[in-house]
Structure 1
């Protein structure tokens, strides 16, 4: 497999993950629809939660990790040549694809029970856990390959290598959690503790991927570096420094202790703001400068929306209390900002790199406006509702929508969510269509 083929494979896995998440979202709706739910091949009561787990894990975990694979493959290919063969890449893609299959099978065949724990929701079945291990192992291979290159050749390369260090720390934390887990824990507690530490570290990985996407988009369009080299070292160095103590906590404190749990919460609270402020400031300065005129209109639009939405989520994160809808408002805005950067990264960097033509038009522009503005409305509605005391993880009468402000806020959330979904669907359909028309993975060269 050449690096061009590998890059195309990671793109198919990542965008395909969003398509699978969308299909499961539709099945979730059908499983709750009277009349239709009775003709589905699964018991709808058990499928709903399993389908929800599958939807979440593909729309966040697989999408983000496969995009990491694409970013690292791009970085590696730029150093050694896009048509270079890579057995590492072939093995990594194979593991990731098998892993995705393992993540789908339990929901389709009604296996195990669903656990909606934080960060990586699971189904308690060996096939699901096996799929997750294979997916993580595939990304470990891609990460280790980055270290075969000379350190600090370019901003992008040094950024991917430090991102790789953070990813390995996250996987190590999950392994240590499994090793130190007491026997006989209930499944919900086991899964929550299994992914609590590693899940927090993965948020540093996702943030680093956002920074890399911004950097690569600017570099590809203008030939300019978003940040001077010393600031790249500072930003990615800070991310690594905050994550380095994470594995040691498993040796120092009981995995079920409040101290253990609080450490990772505080690590996230204090570790992400400063790097985010630094990179956001450089992107803002760039977008306001004359140099940004070299960007095409879509790239400029997407970067503005990504910058605003991501930092809106950061602002919401400063005003949380943990029990109301301000919490999902925070992470939906942050994730929305990252997704917008990934969308334009694929359209302006990856697809041209693998010789896939992007056809532009009104719908191409519309997907960015719809997804960006929809996410802003969705998150803002949840934040306003939470400010009125609407609790998170509730529905129906449990939401206590007893005044007009709460009703209007949740209405804004719903309308914004629907608009964002339309934008996301356009992205998936258009991007998959272009990739499929662009030829098979094993094309003749």
Structure 2
């Protein structure tokens, strides 16, 4: 089951990369001669975001749940149903971009296509993840976490499942509380606002686990004891417990509710990831050079830390609805993605495949990471000049030379990142095709 979820995650990244290539090309100056439909850009953006963030991250979460849960025969049928449901949903979401006439809506966290097929496939994927998360959540083993040598992977995966189940609860609460008069993009903005913020805590717990495993596997001696990291993980999931409370105190459709969830992530999101990142970075700086076999893991760890915290730093400069916002979240999101790419390399031998080797494997994290650094740098510079987010072609208003140059850098970096993503997918597919 773990192998199947890993393969689903790689499939989602492959689909996201395809749509990302179309996205980047549609924003490069002069591209309006080829991409004449603005809805094409928005439809591609919806599928790209849902595949590269929602499906990829949650599939890798399910992978971790499978590896840290006991193998129980009585649950195998449920796990198979969960996987097949998620796989069908992931494929169907990509196909829905080419079927139906519903317009894309660019709401935050889970953008949607107003097409019955899209919502059906999104629901199928959600059912699969929910079943797998509930299986992991039910496997509660506190004794493994509170001793002298706590089970860090087990604790981290359980906190990820807790955050995801609370996120699903938030989605249901918002759905039941939604007033009838709210519709269109506003409906989905409020529907996914609380759930989307809750999911961020699951992703930070997941990236901390990936950092720890990559550091240990590539010869980094982490400062402190395992109990430090256990406490960091437990503290990091506490803020998500306030999600239902926010819905009890504030109406779903209200500025107070939106502000409360923003503050929850603003002040609670760094409780775990900042101390964990500092400890891991300090160990990484002092570590000896890794041998060639583990260079891809070390490179993925370096670039993940750099991008994640670069994205966090850019959040301090957000003012208005410009491209500084995507610069911020592309940095942090790609930081998580790079860590999970490294985790994919690391887990291949555990699943019966040889550890990927070769120059291409060593360079892949650097190509992907440097490309994304250029990408977010171009977006950040454009944001400082007032270029609006979620626009393409002439709608961007690229009047000055500097605005065109910054978006050109964005385009070059984006294309380089797409190449890095394609390399990762190819490396993983090559390993799968060679067999266990």
Please say whether Structure 1 and Structure 2 have the same fold, judged by a TM-score greater than 0.5. Answer: yes
Partner SS for 2:181: coil
Correspondences of 1:202-351 after superposition (within 5 Å):
202-222=199-219, 228-290=225-287, 293=290, 296-348=294-346, 350-351=347-348
Gaps of 5+ in 2: 145-150
Which residue does 2:111 correspond to in 1?
A: 121
Shift of 1:111: 4.7
Post-superposition CA distance 1:114-153 (Å, at most 9, x none): 2121100112233322322222222222222223252252
TM-score normalized with structure 1 length: 0.87
Q: Distance in 2 between matches of 1:242 and 1:394?
A: 34
Supply the RMSD in Å over aligned alpha carbons. 2.9
Q: 2:43 aligns with which of 34, 40, 50?
A: 50
Contact 1:156/1:215 (<8 A) preserved: no
Partner SS for 1:318: helix
Shift of 1:107: 2.1
Which residue does 1:384 correspond to in 2?
A: 381
Q: 1:107 aligns with which of 97, 107, 115?
A: 97
Q: Classify 1:249/1:237 alpha carbon distance in 2 versus 1 (closer, same or farther; 3 Å).
A: same
Which residue does 1:356 correspond to in 2?
A: 353
Q: Classify 1:88/1:291 alpha carbon distance in 2 versus 1 (closer, same or farther; 3 Å).
A: farther
Shift of 1:103: 1.8
TM-score normalized with structure 2 length: 0.88
Shift of 1:366: 2.2
Shift of 1:284: 0.9
Which residue does 1:14 correspond to in 2?
A: 9
Contact 1:21/1:55 (<8 A) preserved: yes
Post-superposition CA distance 1:271-320 (Å, at most 9, x none): 11232210111111221234775782222222111111111111111221
Post-superposition CA distance 1:44-93 (Å, at most 9, x none): 776554343222211221111101111211222xx559x99833422221
1:197 corresponds to 2:203: no
Contact 1:159/1:232 (<8 A) preserved: no
Gaps of 5+ in 1: 1-5, 39-43, 440-445
Q: Distance in 2 between matches of 1:117 and 1:375?
A: 23
Post-superposition CA distance 1:166-219 (Å, at most 9, x none): 111111001111111111322211111111110111111111110111122234
Q: Distance in 1 between matches of 2:220 and 2:334?
A: 27
Q: Classify 1:380/1:23 alpha carbon distance in 2 versus 1 (closer, same or farther; 3 Å).
A: closer
Q: Distance in 1 between matches of 2:78 and 2:223?
A: 30
Partner SS for 1:117: coil
Contact 2:297/2:345 (<8 A) preserved: no
Which residue does 1:168 correspond to in 2?
A: 165
Q: Classify 1:223/1:325 alpha carbon distance in 2 versus 1 (closer, same or farther; 3 Å).
A: closer
Q: Classify 1:359/1:291 alpha carbon distance in 2 versus 1 (closer, same or farther; 3 Å).
A: closer
Q: Distance in 2 between matches of 1:436 and 1:214?
A: 28
Which residue does 1:136 correspond to in 2?
A: 126
